[in-house]
Amino acid sequence: MKIVTVVGARPQFIKAAPVSRAIRERGTEILVHTGQHYDTSMSDVFFEELEIPKPDYHLHVGSKSHGAQTGAMLAKIEEVLLSEKPDALLVYGDTNSTIAGALAAAKLHVPVAHVEAGLRSFNRRMPEEVNRVLTDHTSRWLFCPTDTAVRHLKSEGITEGVYQVGDVMLDAVLYNAKLANEKANIMQKLELESGQFLLLTIHRAENTDDPARLQAIVEALNALTMPAVLPLHPRTRGKLAAAGLAITNPLVKCIEPIGYLDMLQLEVNAKKIVTDSGGVQKEAFFAKVPCITMRDETEWTETVELGTNLLVSANTEKILEAIETFEVDFSAIPSVFGNGKTSETILDILQKDLG
C-alpha cells in the first residue's frame, strides 16, 4: 500500500501526525507539504514537536489568492502523483490544500481518501465549505468523524465508501496530552493561573476579512475584565493592521502562534475558550472547557446540541455576556468523537481495500 498524503495548513499537520504513524506501520507514505502555511510557528514547529517525518516533497506554494494558490498546488501535486503512482491519495479537512490534492488525484484516477468528510456549515460563502463539498464528491473513502457527517453525505446522495470512524483530533490529543504535561511551559512563561484566564483564537476569513465583524470582536476583547491569551494567526495580525484596529486591553496577551503542546496546556487550563477555529472547538470539548464560538454556524453541531459550545457570532455584547455567564456541566456529556483510535480504524479500512 503506497499512499500520497497532502498537507499544507496547521490543523492538517496535527491531524496527519497520528495517521502518518499508522500508515508507516503498514505501508509506504509519501508526504507532500504544499507550503500553504510556511512560517516556522505555523509549520516547522508541528513537524518537530509531533515528530512528523520530513516531507518527501515541499511545493513551496505560499500565500496567494484562492485561485492562484489552489491552481499552483494542483499543477505541482499532479507532477508528484505522475511520478509516484500511489494506490491512493489522502487529504484532511477543508483547506485549499485539500481540494487541490483531491482534484489532482481524481483527474488521474487515483482514488481519494478524505479524513473529516461530511462536515457542513451550509454556508457556501465560506471557502472551506466549497472545498469540503467538492472533496467529498471526488472521494472514494469518506472518513466521517460523526453520525451527523454521515447524514450530510447521505442527503447529497453519497452512501458508498462512507465510514463513521471518529475524529483523528482525539487521537492527537490523547497521544500528546502527557507530553504537553511534561514539556509545555507556557503557563509559567506567561505567568497564568489555571482556571483564571480565557484562551482566544481568531482567524476565520468571515471574521478577519469583514471589518465590521473584526471591529466588533476587537471591541469585545478590549472590554474584557479577566486575563486572556491570544496566539495571533498571521492572517488576523495582517487584517487588524489593515483595518487600523488594535487590541489595547493590557489584560489580553497577544502572542505569536504557539506549538501544539503549549496550545494543549492552555486549553486544559483555560476558564473558557473563545474561538472561531474548527479544531479548537473540538479540543475545548475534549478538554471539558466551555467553548464560545464567534461564528454564525458551526460544523461541529454536536457540541452546540450537547450544550458545551455557544454560538455568539461576531457580536460584542453576546461575546461579553457569554464570557460572563456561559457555564457547562461536563459530568454527563457523552463522547461523540470516537475512541481515540480513529487512525488505526482508517488504516484497517484502507489496508483491506488496498492490501
- Residue 162: closest CA among 119, 124, 122, 108: 119
CB of 207 to ligand UD1, least distance (A): 10
Site string for ligand UD1, 244-283 (x = CB under 6 A): ----------------------------------------
- Residue at 167: amino acid letter: D
The one of ligand UD1, ligand UDP, none whose footprint includes residue 37, by CB under 5 to 8 A per kind, is: ligand UD1
Backbone dihedral region for residue 122 (phi beyond 0: left; psi -120 to 50: alpha; all else: beta): left
Query: What residue ranges in 133-185 does DSSP mark as E strands?
Result: 141-144, 162-164
Residues making contact with ligand UDP (CB under 6 A): 10-11, 14, 201, 203, 231, 257-258, 260, 263, 277-280, 283
Structural contact between residues 172 and 201, judged by C-beta atoms closer than 8 angstroms:
no
- The three-point CA angle 107-109-115 to 5° equals 90
Q: Where does this chain touch ligand UD1 (CB under 6 A) — which range of 38-46, 221-229, 326-334, 337-345?
A: 38-46
Task: Choose between 94 and 283: whose C-beta lies nearer to ligand UD1.
Answer: 94
How many residues at the interface with ligand UD1, by CB under 6 A? 18
Q: Where does this chain touch ligand UD1 (CB under 6 A) — which range of 30-38, 219-227, 283-291, 322-330?
A: 30-38
Task: Dig out the grid coordinates for 31 from the structure.
Answer: 508526504
Task: Choose between 309 and 345: whose C-beta lies nearer to ligand UD1.
Answer: 309
25, 39, 317, 324: which one binds ligand UD1 (CB under 6 A): 39
6, 17, 32, 42: which one binds ligand UD1 (CB under 6 A): 42
- Packing angle between helix 316-325 and helix 211-222, nearest 10 degrees? 40
The one of ligand UDP, ligand UD1, none whose footprint includes residue 38, by CB under 5 to 8 A per kind, is: ligand UD1
What Å distances lie between residue 173 and 258, 286, 351, CA to CA? 16, 8, 25
The one of ligand UD1, ligand UDP, none whose footprint includes residue 57, by CB under 5 to 8 A per kind, is: none
Cβ neighbors of 164 (< 8 A, separation 6 or more) are: 144, 145, 146, 147, 149, 150
Q: Under the criterion CB under 6 A, does residue 63 sit at the interface with ligand UD1?
A: yes
The one of ligand UD1, ligand UDP, none whose footprint includes residue 234, by CB under 5 to 8 A per kind, is: ligand UD1
Residues catalogued as catalytic: 203
Task: Look up cell 516531507; give the residue.
Answer: 55
Task: Choose between 70 and 345: whose C-beta lies nearer to ligand UD1.
Answer: 70
Q: Under the criterion CB under 6 A, does residue 211 sit at the interface with ligand UD1?
A: no
What is the C-alpha to C-alpha distance for residues 113 and 110, in angstroms, rounded to an integer?
Answer: 10
- What is the footprint of ligand UD1 within residues 95-154 (CB under 6 A)? 95-96, 127-128
Task: Dig out the grid coordinates for 221 from the structure.
Answer: 476583547
Task: Look up cell 487521537; give the residue.
Answer: 171
The one of ligand UD1, ligand UDP, none whose footprint includes residue 201, by CB under 5 to 8 A per kind, is: ligand UDP
The one of ligand UDP, ligand UD1, none whose footprint includes residue 263, by CB under 5 to 8 A per kind, is: ligand UDP
Q: Is 141 helix (H, G, I), strand (E, B) or coil?
A: strand
Separate counts of helices (H) and strands (E) for the chain: 16, 13
What is the C-alpha to C-alpha distance for residues 88 and 93, in angstroms, rounded to an integer?
Answer: 17
Contacting residues toward ligand UD1, per CB under 6 A: 9-11, 36-39, 42, 63, 94-96, 127-128, 203, 234-235, 238
